[in-house]
């Protein structure tokens, strides 16, 4: 798919208001803590899965355990699903957090943008090859990119704007030619947003927190951006009965369902959300031990999580994150690796 074609399909938008159904799923799931753990609490990471055994985690903000001092990581970790091991396998040229990662299906991983020290943006695109551990720069980003959702279509990565209202630019990157092209701007700027690719619907779906308030009400508007069938487009402001209000919302796709992990209010941070990508029906699913070993009655929000879906095990693996407490001003970074088994849901 060419960048010029993408520009055409992303050009037109209409605005529709909707209030979609919401239910609590009767099934309870359980989060299982693995034996692996980062050497520090870690959040704002980039993540990608090779579809087999390897999950790669890039950069991030970290805190040494029992510390509230925050630093930026330059490490690339590999988590093995089968052996449950976490190993450093590479190093970014600079400490970066909030970058975006995509896998080309050929053994290479592309890391886009992010934040450097002293609040500077990285405008670089790096390629990481696990076979030799090398990280090389292959391109430059046209505009700022931080906490940006992306979708992959064949050999093209489409970046759908940047968070913190910093830049609404939509641009494409060809993973073979390394060509970068601006396509358009998102119809809105976001505090934070995430996206999934609905393969069956041949469309991108974006969930974005657009409120100007950092302390949002229990009901928040979100945008679903759907270039349906790569032809017609619509933007839907959806009023959901609970909100995805945290940073770096982790999202995975299982069939025609998108699972949003963490960053939800109002709750005691022990729910995940399941969104039917066909009907846009939203379900909350209770997850026992979602934030292990913490008194959830004091947890305002659990966010900053990175997650992938491992289809062969029917599990969502999630990494790190941060806890915001009612009683404490400081955030607590988490260094755990855990998974949620979706098997009890049957047909996902």
Task: Indicate the range of 3-7, 102-106, 335-339 predicted with least confidence.
Answer: 3-7
Contact criterion met (CB below 8 Å) for 345 and 29: yes
Q: Which residue has the tokens 């950069």?
A: 59
Mention every residue, 6+ apart, whose C-beta is less than 8 A from residue 253.
196, 197, 198, 199, 259, 277, 309
User: Which tokens in the block code for residue 258?
Assistant: 């998108």
Which residues, including other chains, have CB under 8 Å from residue 188's CB and lie 6 or more apart? 168, 208, 210, 223, 235
Residue 246 pLDDT greater than 70, yes or no: no
Whether the predicted pLDDT of 128 surpasses 90: yes
User: Does a cis peptide bond (omega within 30 degrees of 0) precede residue 266?
Assistant: yes
Residue found by looking up tokens 């870690």 in the block: 42
CATH superfamily of 3-345: Kelch-type beta propeller (2.120.10.80)
CA distance 304 to 320: 7
Average pLDDT over the chain reads: 79
Q: Encode pLDDT of 138-174 as tens digits.
A: 999 888 888 888 888 888 888 887 776 567 778 889 9
Residue whose token pair is 């976490």: 86
Instruction: Say which DSSP state 248 is in.
Output: S
pLDDT tens figures, 301-314: 788 899 999 999 99
- The closest alpha carbon to 58, from 39, 41, 38, 78, belongs to 78
The span from the CA of 310 to the CA of 52, in Å, is 8
Report residue 294: phi and psi, to 5°: -120, 145
How do residues 33-82 score in pLDDT, each as one tens digit? Answer: 999 999 999 999 999 999 999 999 999 999 999 898 999 999 999 999 99
| pLDDT of res. 330 | 74
Interacting residues of 256 by C-beta distance below 8 A, sequence separation 6+: 198, 200, 201, 276, 277, 278
pLDDT tens digits for 184-208? 777 667 667 777 777 777 677 776 6
């Amino acid at each position: 798919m060419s960048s010029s074609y993408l520009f055409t399909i992303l050009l037109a938008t209409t605005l529709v208001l909707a209030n979609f159904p919401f239910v609590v799923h009767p099934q309870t799931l359980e989060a299982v803590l693995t034996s692996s753990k980062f050497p520090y609490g870690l959040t704002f990471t980039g993540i990608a899965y090779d579809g087999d055994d390897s999950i790669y985690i890039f950069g991030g903000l970290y805190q040494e355990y029992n510390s509230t001092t925050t630093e930026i990581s330059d490490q690339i970790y590999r988590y093995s699903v089968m052996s449950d091991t976490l190993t450093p396998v590479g190093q970014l040229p600079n400490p970066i957090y909030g970058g975006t990662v995509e896998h080309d299906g050929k053994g290479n991983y592309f890391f886009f943008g992010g934040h450097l020290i002293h609040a500077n943006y990285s405008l670089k695109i790096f390629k990481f090859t696990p076979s030799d551990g090398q990280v090389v720069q292959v391109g430059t980003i046209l505009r700022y990119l931080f906490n940006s959702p992306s979708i992959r279509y064949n050999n093209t990565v489409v970046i759908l704007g940047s968070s913190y209202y910093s830049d609404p630019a939509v641009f494409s990157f060809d993973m073979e030619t390394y060509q970068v092209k601006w396509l358009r701007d998102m119809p809105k700027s976001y505090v934070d947003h995430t996206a999934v690719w609905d393969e069956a619907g041949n469309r991108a779906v974006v969930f974005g927190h657009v409120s100007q308030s950092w302390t949002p009400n229990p009901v928040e508007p979100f945008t679903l951006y759907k270039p349906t069938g790569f032809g017609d487009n619509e933007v839907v402001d959806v009023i959901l009965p609970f909100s995805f209000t945290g940073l770096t919302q982790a999202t995975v796709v299982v069939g025609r369902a998108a699972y949003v992990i963490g960053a939800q209010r109002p709750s005691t941070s022990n729910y995940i959300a399941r969104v039917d990508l066909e009907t846009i029906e939203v379900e909350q699913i209770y997850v026992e031990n979602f934030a292990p070993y913490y008194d959830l009655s004091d947890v305002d929000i659990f966010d900053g999580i990175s997650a992938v879906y491992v289809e062969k095990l029917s599990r969502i693996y999630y990494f790190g994150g941060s806890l915001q407490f009612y009683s404490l001003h400081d955030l607590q970074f988490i260094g755990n690796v855990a998974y949620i088994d979706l098997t009890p849901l049957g047909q996902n």
